[in-house]
Amino acid sequence: MKEKFKNKKIFHFIYPIIFIFISVNCSNKIKPTEKFSLNFPLGLDSLIAQIPKDNPLTLKKIKLGRKLFFDKRLSVDEQIACADCHNPLLGFADGRSFAKGFEEMEGTRSAPTIINRLFSKKQFWDGRAASLEEQVIGPILNPIEMNNTKENVIKVLSKDVSLKNDFKEVFGSDITIIGIQKAIASFERTILSGNSPFDRFITGDSTAISLSAKKGFLLFKSERVNCVACHKGQNFTDELYHNTGIGTDKKDYDFGRFIVTKNDSDIARFKTSTLRDIARTAPFMHDGSLRTLKEVIEFYDKGGIKNPNLSDKMKPLKLTEEEKDNLIEFLRSLSGMNPLAADKIQTMSSN
């Protein structure tokens, strides 16, 4: 989490995902309230995007959200930005088993990627936030993350005349918590991963993925392995909560979704993660206990960890070593385009 962003401009070209970038010359000609239409990469369906009516996308709001995403002043000691736990270099996760926050305090879960989060309403591993807007404020106020207060955030940020002008232009008001939430959520909705080798394969390019990956895909969707029972649809997630047994063999394990619903059936259930860009977001699972894709496949091959609430979808798969390797190759084919130079990243403009 302590990966630092001394030069925020590096973000413009370091990560292989489709982003929105706004040039100064272009933004000066755009009205603050002018709606913006995302250009969805191959494999993603705009019809299921979750964009609230009270927070439509605009270019200037996205630009403001991007600025705030990297702003360490959101934390009480001005040492932590959103980008420290959701690092573009690490698949918008942080590469740790447990996220670290204020004064290096360690949380109890890994930082989930924010890739393609506009396709879901509920956020976090346990779905406790009803929207991306609600998700934004959680880490800011959490005592072991940013450890800040709403009042202090407003006080500190309001000293920045340029930022105050940005809020006036975008929201027609002074800096507000709701404005911060809406701006960052808008930016997060532009973090899209698609146009992967698999997307090109499934739309007709037979050479886009290897023979091993093709075999892995057949296994993935087969009745025998049935990964698609949970990892389904364009984003390879059902956005539901399942108990795979992860962590239940430990004392005082994480109760997951139960903490939100208080339903016994939700004990140790966690949200199904997207598999897009999965090869870039290690370690895996809510507790970061699986370090590699091979470990993930081995875990599912064994049928998870037995516990009273284990999902009925979990069963031993009896995979061969070749089948395991094929599944891994398929998962790697879900990584989006890899433009590592600024001139290869798509710049979008408003409609």
Query: For 66-81, what is the HEC assignment?
Result: HHHHCCHHHCCCCCCC
Q: HSE (CB half, 13 Å, CA atoms) of 161?
A: 0
Q: Where are the alpha helices (DSSP H) in 80-176?
A: 82-85, 132-141, 150-157, 161-171
Tell me how many domains the chain contains.
2
Residues 180 and 249 reside in one and the same domain: no
Tokens 């204020």 locate to 102
18 assigned to some structural domain:
yes
350 assigned to some structural domain:
no
Q: Which two tokens stand for residue 18?
A: 């489709």
Residues 47 and 179 reside in one and the same domain: yes
Residues 82 and 160 reside in one and the same domain: yes
Question: Is residue 346 a contact partner of residue 194, using CB atoms and an 8 Å limit?
Answer: no
53 assigned to some structural domain:
yes
d(C-alpha 166, C-alpha 249), whole Å: 50
Residues 310 and 288 reside in one and the same domain: yes
d(C-alpha 112, C-alpha 94), whole Å: 8
Round the CA-based radius of gyration of the chain to a whole number and report it: 21
At 115, which amino acid appears? Answer: I
Residues 150 and 54 reside in one and the same domain: yes
Domain range enclosing 139: 8-193+339-344
d(C-alpha 125, C-alpha 93), whole Å: 13
Residues 219 and 80 reside in one and the same domain: no
250 assigned to some structural domain:
yes
pLDDT in tens, the chain (351 residues): 444 444 444 443 344 444 444 333 344 444 656 778 888 999 999 999 999 999 999 999 999 999 999 999 999 999 999 999 999 888 899 999 999 999 999 999 999 999 999 999 999 999 999 999 999 999 999 999 999 999 999 999 999 999 999 999 999 999 999 999 999 999 999 999 999 999 999 999 999 999 999 999 999 999 999 999 999 999 999 999 999 999 999 999 999 999 999 999 999 999 999 999 999 999 999 999 999 999 999 999 999 999 999 999 999 999 999 999 999 999 999 999 643 322 222 333 232
45 assigned to some structural domain:
yes
CATH of the domain at 271: 1.10.760.10
Tell me the backbone φ, ψ of residue 249, rounded to 5 degrees: -90, 5
Residues 292 and 236 reside in one and the same domain: yes
d(C-alpha 211, C-alpha 88), whole Å: 30
Residues 207 and 147 reside in one and the same domain: no
Segment (H or E) for 140: helix 132-141
CA pseudo-torsion sign 132, 347, 61, 7: positive
280 assigned to some structural domain:
yes
| Planar angle of CA 283, 188, 40, nearest 5 degrees | 100
